Amino acid sequence: MHRVLAETYPEAGCELDFTSPFELLVATVMSAQTTDRRVNAVTPVLFGRYPDATALAAADRADVEEIIRSTGFFRAKTNSILGLSAALVEGFGGEVPGRLEDLVTLPGVGRKTANVVLGNAFDVPGLTVDTHFARLVRRFEWVDGATAKDPVRTEHAVGALFPRQDWTMLSHRLIWHGRRRCHARKPACGACPLARWCPSFGEGPTDPVEAAALVTTQGRA
């Protein structure tokens, strides 16, 4: 199944724009409950004004809130962004650490965000258990229903099925598939390259024409 996903999405990768680990960290925190496209629309302004942790730690809260307002939950996200920037300055010399145990000590940063940063900014393999990832591994029955409710248990269970060096790209491919075909409410089962192996085939339309109309060329979120 992973091999077919790799063939289906050869361009799969992080859909957040960034030029440094710090930019990716902040963008990932902002991506909660919004689309990557929306985050990518505001980060040029944010990082143009506050290019690093030192600058953002000293930023005017109202200004940051206004810049990122369109991403939703902007007050809570501003708290996290300002807090993690200050923590980076105080504890890590303004640099983003390359270890999961350090990243998760930062305000607003959990294992999911940490693994995004590690995998894409530091080339440290990690599994990003977001809503798409969790939905797909449950539908594929790579994990059971109880495990799927716990992101950490899901991370460890799926990690045990694949070589460590595949984890980051596996995450990207599952997320791309979840955004483009295996939607939460109406998966495009009849246009799915994994249909022959999927135990959940039939949760969505199986007619090829009807299913093809559900396939998107870009992620929904």
Percentage of the chain beyond pLDDT 70 is: 98
Shared domain check, 108 and 182: no
Provide the residue range defining the domain that includes 207.
128-212
Shared domain check, 200 and 135: yes
Shared domain check, 84 and 142: no
Q: What is the 3-state secondary structure (H, E, C) of the chain?
A: CHHHHHHHCCCCCCCCCCCCHHHHHHHHHHCCCCCHHHHHHHHHHHHHHCCCHHHHHCCCHHHHHHHHHHHCCHHHHHHHHHHHHHHHHHHHCCCCCCCHHHHCCCCCCCHHHHHHHHHHHCCCCCCCCCHHHHHHHHHCCCCCHHHHCCHHHHHHHHHCCCCHHHHHHHHHHHHHHHHHCCCCCCCCHHHCCCHHHCCCCCCCCCCHHHHHCCCCCCCCC
Shared domain check, 51 and 27: yes
Last residue of a domain, one of 67, 90, 121: 121
Q: Is the CA virtual torsion 44, 178, 136, 183 positive or negative?
A: positive
CATH, residue 163? 1.10.1670.10
- Catalytic annotation, pick one of 52, 63, 77, 130: 130
94 lies in a domain? yes
Q: What is the mean pLDDT of the chain?
A: 96
Q: Is the CA virtual torsion 39, 45, 46, 47 positive or negative?
A: positive
Shared domain check, 103 and 140: no
Say what the pLDDT of residue 218 is: 67
Domain count, the chain: 2
Decide: 117 and 14 in contact? Cβ < 8 Å.
Answer: no
Shared domain check, 34 and 92: yes
Shared domain check, 98 and 139: no
66 lies in a domain? yes
Say what the pLDDT of residue 145 is: 87
16 phi and psi, to 5 degrees?
Answer: -95, 135
| Amino acid, res. 79 | N
105 lies in a domain? yes
57-88 confidence digits (pLDDT tens): 999 999 999 999 999 999 999 999 999 999 99
Percentage of the chain beyond pLDDT 90 is: 96
Average pLDDT (3-19) is 97
Shared domain check, 72 and 53: yes
Last residue of a domain, one of 77, 97, 121: 121
Shared domain check, 132 and 117: no
130 is catalytic: yes
90-130 confidence digits (pLDDT tens): 999 999 999 999 999 999 999 999 999 999 999 999 999 99
- Catalytic annotation, pick one of 52, 77, 112, 150: 112
112 is catalytic: yes
Question: What count of Cα atoms within 13 Å lies in the side-chain half-sphere of residue 96?
Answer: 27
170-197 confidence digits (pLDDT tens): 999 999 999 999 999 999 999 999 999 9
217 lies in a domain? no
CATH, residue 74? 1.10.340.30
Shared domain check, 93 and 57: yes
Shared domain check, 86 and 170: no
Number of neighbours of residue 10 by Cβ within 10 angstroms: 9
**Residue 220's pLDDT band (boundaries 50, 70, 90)?**
very low
Shared domain check, 111 and 26: yes
Last residue of a domain, one of 92, 121, 150: 121
pTM above threshold 0.95:
no
